[in-house]
Amino acid sequence: MAVTLDDKLVVAISSRALFDFEEENRVFDPLDPRAYMELQQARLEVPAKPGVAFQLVKKLLAFNTAHARNVEVVILSRNDPVSALRIFRSAKEAGLPLERGVFTQGRDPFRYLRPLGAHLFLSANEQDVSEALALGFPAARVLTESVAAGVDYPHELRIAFDGDAVLFSDEAERVYQAEGLEAFQTHEISKAELPLSGGPFKPLLAALHQLQQQAGASGMRLRIALVTARSAPAHERAINTLMKWNLAVDEAMFLGGLEKGPFLREFEPDFFFDDQTGHVTSAALHVPSGHVRAGIANPPLVVDETTARRKPKA
């Protein structure tokens, strides 16, 4: 019988999102990668330090048991096969049971998301994340400058999402950008019973909901928060949308434009996703964060050809 990942939550993650390779990355040159490869080879016996998404991955893998593997984490990296040795050795040293990886040595890795059936792609490479989102996969650029996760609740995974342009479409955000707050509120009140279309991270929320139902034997819990700039009365449409989807969150924060960082610091998520650079930069001062380059708040990414040839490792 062929091996399949169809019944699992699949997370694809780059090496820089999982481990702290910022020092190594400073010597990377795609036109001559030998210095980078030699440095990684020289450090084969030196376990890499945890990166921004390390705790998220560690807790996701804790949902697996000897009898049921509900989560699969796959390294999907621009690294070379030699560097893969250090990545897998570092994972083993850290107690992460990773088995699968795709290493492209500079080529675009996002093309492998489809055969993996990935529910999430985390990378430090903005272009790769943008391409993954364009293909319909939930994806976020990990802010490598984010602080590490705070207090570790070993048996509870906490994830926080923004609403518009992340869990939901950017329909309402477009009204706000074009016509202002009053028009936004009027629009949302008039459509309070009409569910919003799904945003790029709706499939991940659905997969996490399924994981919650399977979690029993692992002893792990999953707590999800919606952290949004919406306020009453626009909150109604967000809640009604989740109800119509038959999906739920454990906490909802309708902050009406207040800075999200201090609230996230109290929730202590293992990861937070937001589409607006201001919000996610603020959040990164308090919690591990990822930028979802989707919706009207994010203009198309313009790639300079010279810069493109010197893409950082991911």
Instruction: Kindly give the pairing relationship between strand 139-142 and strand 9-13.
Output: unpaired
DSSP lists the bridge partners of residue 71 as 9
Q: How far apart are alpha carbons 9 and 16 in whole angstroms?
A: 21
Look at the pTM and tell me if it is higher than 0.75.
yes
**Domains in the chain, ordered, with CATH?**
9-142 (3.40.50.1000), 156-291 (3.40.50)
- Cα 254 from chain centroid? 22
Instruction: Kindly give the pairing relationship between strand 251-254 and strand 271-274.
Output: unpaired
- Cα 10 from chain centroid? 12
Res 161: pLDDT:
98
Count of Cβ atoms closer than 10 Å to residue 69 Cβ: 15
pLDDT above 50 for 307: no
Res 1: pLDDT:
65
Nearest CA-CA partner of 120 in 72, 52, 70: 72
93-100: long-range contacts (C-beta < 8 A, 24 or more apart)? 93/47, 94/47, 94/50, 94/54, 94/58, 95/58, 96/57, 96/58, 96/61, 97/61, 97/64, 98/73, 98/74, 100/72, 100/74, 100/75
SS3 43: coil
Res 306: pLDDT:
46
Given strand 100-103, what is the order of strands in its sheet? 100-103, 71-77, 9-13, 120-123, 139-142, 289-291, 271-274, 156-161, 221-228, 251-254
Q: Which of 37-51, 130-144, 212-226, 292-306 has the lowest mean pLDDT?
A: 292-306
Count of Cβ atoms closer than 10 Å to residue 4 Cβ: 8
Catalytic residue status for 162: yes
Q: Which of 3-7, 166-170, 251-255, 293-297 has the lowest mean pLDDT?
A: 3-7
How far are the Cα atoms of 127, 218, 291, 303, 311 from residue 307, in angstroms, in the given order?
Answer: 11, 45, 20, 7, 6
pLDDT above 60 for 311: no
- Which tokens is 92 given? 């083993």
Confidence of residue 26 (pLDDT cuts 50, 70, 90): confident
Task: For 188-198, write each residue's pLDDT tens digit.
Answer: 999 999 999 99
- Write down the catalytic residue from 80, 162, 170, 274: 162
Task: For 127-168, write each residue's pLDDT tens digit.
Answer: 999 999 999 999 999 999 998 776 678 899 999 999 999 999
Confidence of residue 3 (pLDDT cuts 50, 70, 90): confident
pLDDT above 50 for 309: no
Residues above pLDDT 70, as percent of the chain: 95
Confidence of residue 312 (pLDDT cuts 50, 70, 90): low
- Which tokens is 33 given? 């990668």
pLDDT above 80 for 223: yes
Please state, rounded to an integer, the average pLDDT across all residues of the chain: 91
Task: For 75-100, write each residue's pLDDT tens digit.
Answer: 999 888 888 999 999 999 999 999 99
Res 23: pLDDT:
85
Q: How far apart are alpha carbons 99 and 112 in whole angstroms?
A: 16
